[in-house]
Structure 1
Amino acid sequence: MKIAAGATIRALQTGLPLDALENRILLCHALGLTRVGLITNGERVLTEEEAARLSALVERRLAGEPIAYIVGQREFYGLPFQVTLAVLIPRPDTELIVELALERLAPQARLLDMGTGSGAIAVSVAHTRPDAQVTALDVSEEALHVARANAAANQAQVRFLRSDWFAALAGETFDLIASNPPYIASGDEHLAQGDLRFEPSGALTDFADGLSALRTIVQGAPAHLEQGGWLLLEHGYDQAQAVRDLLADAGYTDVQSWRDLAGIERVSGGRRT
């Protein structure tokens, strides 16, 4: 879509072929304005450079690219998070695991976030509970670069490690382990739909049955959990029973699942006996 120079900001707020929220986000991003700025500058006309920049952003969105990747940011747990094509886009569903972790963290407790991606879980916990000792790991150096930037931007103290799951942890133990691992099964039709088409496949799918990463974490976590420590796992909408079975079979106690805002069992967990 080509947007002509000379168009007013007010006209573009209703004239772009996107919904009102996306129109506003892209206008703010292209023009460097706040939401209030859009209102107070409604009669301002776009220069040729601004029109070309906005046209390019709208074309990307019309092609299906997620807004978060276009503007390079997404809010999570009330904090701004930088996002790039190297990490998943943080979603409101994942805020549930942050809340569950915060409820279970004693003062000065040690938390491990496995497969941190953008750092959403680790940074949110560390920002909310600066007394906590938070460690986050990921196998992707590109993801860790994004996560470190997010920790710095949100004044959160997090130790980051490059690690293939537990490989770099040696004998370290934690009071709580949380993870949002790849849990979409290989070949799932959702991988070819919507935002998922643009997100890193290795952070979405385990290239197997959707449970292999969850199995690895469930089986390896006891060696890195203090007695009575919690393991909390985000999973797919239809995997709660399977994850509870994995936890129970591995000897965890207090095994249960928690529902997200949509009423879907989104996180399951248990305690090391």
Structure 2
Amino acid sequence: MRASKPAAAREPATQAALAIDRLDVRYGRARAVQQASLLLERGTLAIVGRNGMGKTSLCNAVTGMVPSSGSIRLFGEEIRGLPPHRIARRGVAYVPQGRRVWRSLTVDEHLRLAHRFRRGEWTPDGIYELFPRLKQRRHNGGTQLSGGEQQMLAIGRALLLDPSLLLMDEPTEGLAPIIVEQLAATLRSLAARTEMAILLVEQNLRFAVDVADSVAVMVNGCVVRTMPAAALAADRALQQQLMGVHAQGVGS
């Protein structure tokens, strides 16, 4: 699969994987993200919140897909304002909401195309080892796959960019509970076995606290609180206060 790189081959350990400071994203006169600040040292940070709170807009700003103001630093290097392809080449990979696989390409073609963009330690064969189901479906088109298979493909496509930071937007959306459990196990394994940092945007609070080391809560475009995932999982009253209906079922 993929061997962990020595620390010297990656960015200095003293730098946070992602540091966002006073980030603003506007669409016309509307502010989708307002003075948001986040720090992801290493491991997995989940951003949770209801629909329309600015979570996807924050991801789009990090990947350079929407204009923004403020600061976005990747291992100490300012990337805000760079075009998306340059941000990707610096080690940021994105698994978008809805997977967005191509109808006309097979699984194998998806993976080999992504591998041509940035040659690293991940290979298509390594993705097939991580997701054996994709190997069985390698000659099927993207839209011939189930929702879970499409999500595996979207993750595999992103990993082939050999990222130091992986962004995932609503990865559990539309997936059956058993597939969600498998996805959680995969993300925990990736976090434990590689040096890659993961920024996870998720409405499913149960999934978020199961996978992440820490959780940031967004309300009306602002990051109102960041705390250890285990602490949020253990506090049902706080879940209700911060998340309302989306907190139901966590810890049960």
Q: Could you say whether these structures have the same fold, taking a TM-score greater than 0.5 normalized by the shorter chain as the test?
A: no
What is the TM-score normalised by the length of structure 1? 0.31
| TM-score for both structures, normalised by structure 2 | 0.33
- Structure ranking higher on relative contact order (CA contacts 8 Å, 6+ apart): 2
Which has the larger share of strand? Answer: 2
Which structure shows the bigger proportion of residues in helix conformation? 1
